[in-house]
Amino acid sequence: VIKCKAAVAWEAGKPLSLEEVEVAPPKAHEVRIKIVATAVCHTDAYTLSGADPEGCFPVILGHEGAGIVESVGEGVTKVKPGDTVIPLYIPQCGECKFCKNPKTNLCQKIRITQGKGLMPDGTSRFTCKGKQIYHFMGTSTFSEYTVVADISVAKIDAAAPLDKVCLLGCGISTGYGAAVNTAKVEPGSTCAVFGLGGVGLAVIMGCKVAGASRIIGIDLNKDKYAKAKEFGATECISPQDFKKPIQEVLAEMTDGGVDYSFECIGNVGVMRAALEACHKGWGVSVIVGVAAAGQEISTRPFQLVTGRTWKGTAFGGWKSVDSVPKLVTDYMSKKIKVDEFVTHTLPFDKINEAFELMHTGK
């Protein structure tokens, strides 16, 4: 058993608490990882807020991390101690019907236990002050050591800087893949990206790599425009600057609507606007943002009858074990940006400050 520091969420709506936790050794088909770097994501904040119906407490949150394999359980063949890895919240077992289908990346092998905050055998590897602590998204990267299923880990280039590539564990991969895999943006097309946080910037990067000729960024926070343009946005607008709905504004700007739109916020009203901002006959809108539980999307069926397509994406459609090492290689060969997404680097004990920075849009 390893004793180490972890940021524990004891209950919903309270700041994380830095505690000494015990991390049990990996069982069969499990891997124990020394986490070197982790990022914070809105999904962590969503669960911490208490709005997540799958949220269990007490829990160790975090799902964008990178580290070194410390030890492996029986039967683990893909990684060994000393390997550099990224934990994966969407695993890839290679055996379930989802893994065997080229149309999806949603491996279901450990979905049920993962959703309950437990390892595949139905137990936890974390304890603190004599209490069992739940896992989160199969990763729990807010701990100096974590245990994951062997199908939830990608072995990456040992030379990769872990404080950067940890972002490929969720946000950057999600946005980039939404453009190149889910929407399959074509050269010369016009795109609209709603929400210019980390995921939105990654979508812009994907649209640019795919050869889009016009990329319109949409956000209420104008402080985000300069960064969006750095990533490839050709122009940025705020819905507050117009008297009419933003979808009408976009239709006028683009002679009838955009070819591709992306919702990167998780707001069902914006999801509708993003669909309706698409061009009649061929426009495609991708939902990337995760809305709160129980919310529903609406539009007039005529929007779809007249040739628009509404799609969604999780982790950018990447089959995780196969794709994450390639994304790291693409970053190392400067094909995709990662460093530019990092705004602040804080010590682990300032994790609550990191959440504050995220909430204030900094």
3-state secondary structure of 86: strand
Range of the domain at 300: 174-314
Q: pTM of this prediction?
A: 0.96
Q: Look at residue 358 and tell me if it is in a domain.
A: no
Q: Are 33 and 52 in contact (CB under 8 A)?
A: no
Q: Are 83 and 68 in contact (CB under 8 A)?
A: yes
Q: Indicate if 230 and 339 belong to the same structural domain.
A: no
Q: Indicate if 6 and 70 belong to the same structural domain.
A: yes
Q: Indicate if 103 and 9 belong to the same structural domain.
A: yes
Q: Indicate if 73 and 204 belong to the same structural domain.
A: no
The count of domains in the chain is: 2
Q: Indicate if 216 and 343 belong to the same structural domain.
A: no
Percent of the chain residues past pLDDT 70, beyond the cut: 100
Q: Indicate if 243 and 108 belong to the same structural domain.
A: no
Q: Indicate if 8 and 121 belong to the same structural domain.
A: yes
Q: Indicate if 60 and 161 belong to the same structural domain.
A: yes
Task: For the chain, give percent helix, strand, coil, nearest 5.
Answer: 35, 25, 45
The CATH number that applies at residue 246 is 3.40.50.720
Q: Look at residue 359 and tell me if it is in a domain.
A: no
Q: Look at residue 21 and tell me if it is in a domain.
A: yes
pLDDT attached to residue 160: 98
Q: Indicate if 164 and 181 belong to the same structural domain.
A: no
Token representation of residue 62: 């975090």
Q: pLDDT band for 327, please (50, 70, 90 cuts).
A: very high
pLDDT attached to residue 361: 83
Q: Indicate if 89 and 10 belong to the same structural domain.
A: yes
Q: Are 154 and 320 in contact (CB under 8 A)?
A: yes
Token representation of residue 147: 């245990």
Q: Look at residue 362 and tell me if it is in a domain.
A: no
Q: Look at residue 206 and tell me if it is in a domain.
A: yes
Q: Indicate if 47 and 93 belong to the same structural domain.
A: yes
Give the count of alpha carbons within 13 A of 310, CB side only.
19
Q: Look at residue 61 and tell me if it is in a domain.
A: yes
Q: Look at residue 138 and tell me if it is in a domain.
A: yes
Express each pLDDT in 248-269 by its tens digit.
Answer: 999 999 999 999 999 999 999 9
Express each pLDDT in 15-42 by its tens digit.
Answer: 999 999 999 999 999 999 999 999 999 8
- Cα-Cα-Cα-Cα torsion 253, 254, 257, 260, nearest 10 degrees, comes to -120
CA 147 distance to own-chain centroid: 20
Overall average pLDDT of the 306-330 stretch? 98
Q: Look at residue 213 and tell me if it is in a domain.
A: yes
